[in-house]
Amino acid sequence: MRRLLKSPLLWTLLSSVVVLVGVTAWLLTDRATSRGDALKTGALAGGAIAALYGLWLNDRRRRTEEDRHEIERSRISDERFAKSIELLGNEADQVRVGAMHSLAGLARTRPEYRQTVLDVLCAYLRRPFDHPKFPSKTKWNKETEAAAERERLVRRAAERLIRDILPHAGTTGPTLGLNLSDARLDKLELLGRRVGWFGADRCEVASYVDLTDAQVSGKFSLKDVTIHGTLDLTRARFERKVSLDYLVVEKPVDFGVATFAEPPSLEGAKFAAGSTLPGRST
């Protein structure tokens, strides 16, 4: 009985009856209104209450259905994420690349996963890696060189996907950070992308780092990093502190093409002849 008294349907029916009787009685006080017209108007008023209840009920069902779909989407996304992480440890390079693309697709469709996916891809690039392009004590043969090259291509996929997940420079929204410290990279390109905090201390880069048109809104750190190729800073914008202490770049660097919120820290840094540093050239 108590449950019945709490039923919205019961109270809607009672309200409709009360409105019907009340409106009809009120109209009958006017002698110019016939009994039939008064009853018809009262019925319309009571029916409006029932119609409002129907609209509310439909909206409630719609929201319940949307919540159910969202829970199902979250469950599927969680399962997809877990499966992709598992496949990153697969021995087949094509499987690892597929897992990375699956994670990137998840980051595109589920924004709440973007930073997590970036963290995973960065963690993959921090795994131990050797290749003939890096200074190494490894005695290479055809088999080991082929295996290293396959892994290099897998890592190149991770590097490209990191760039693709990052938002474009000049856009608004959440900032995403990158932690590539202690990683060995081939080609890091952040062309026209917006990144928050960026850390790649003690990193080694075989080919180049390209920051053309990049926007860095957080701290940027390349401490004790060696870049065997080029560092391109064309139209890059650094909005916070930049730490380049003990950075070594084997090709000339032009700092004059970038914008810095404050002079970068260059203690112990070494650059190839012909480099243009902030305020001077070497």
Q: What's the CA gap between 58 and 80, in Å, rounded?
A: 33
Residue 27 and residue 99 in one domain = no
Structure letter (DSSP) for residue 226: E
Domain count along the chain: 2
Residue 110 and residue 242 in one domain = yes
In a domain, 142, yes or no: yes
Surface-to-core class of residue 193, CB atoms within 10 Å of its CB (0-12 exposed, 13-18 middle, 19+ buried): buried
Residue 115 and residue 55 in one domain = no
pLDDT, one tens digit per residue, over 96-112 is: 999 999 999 999 999 99
Closest CA to 154 of 199, 184, 134, 117: 184
Residue 235 and residue 133 in one domain = yes
Residue 276's beta-bridge partner residues?
254, 281
**Three-state SS for 274?**
coil
**The two structure tokens encoding residue 177:** 């950070």
Closest CA to 127 of 196, 62, 182: 182
In single-letter form, the type of residue at position 103 comes to L
Residue 32 and residue 139 in one domain = no
Residue 166 and residue 275 in one domain = yes
**Three-state SS for 207?**
strand
Residue 137 and residue 193 in one domain = yes
- Chain centroid offset of residue 245 CA: 30
Residue 51 and residue 187 in one domain = no
pLDDT, one tens digit per residue, over 37-47 is: 555 554 555 55
Give the pLDDT score at 200. Answer: 97
Q: Which residues contact 195 (CB under 8 A, 6 or more apart)?
A: 166, 175, 176, 177, 178, 214, 215, 216, 217, 218
Element (H, E) at 178: strand 178-179
Residue 24 and residue 133 in one domain = no
In a domain, 26, yes or no: yes
In a domain, 195, yes or no: yes
Residues of the chain with pLDDT under 50: 1, 4-5, 10, 19-20, 22-24, 27-28, 42, 280-282
Residue 47 and residue 130 in one domain = no
Residue 22 and residue 141 in one domain = no
**Three-state SS for 162?**
helix
Give the pLDDT score at 39. Answer: 53
CA atoms within 13 A on the CB side of 67: 6
- Residues spanned by the domain of 57: 2-65
CA distances 126 to 52, 123, 194, Å, are 60, 5, 22
Residue 12 and residue 149 in one domain = no
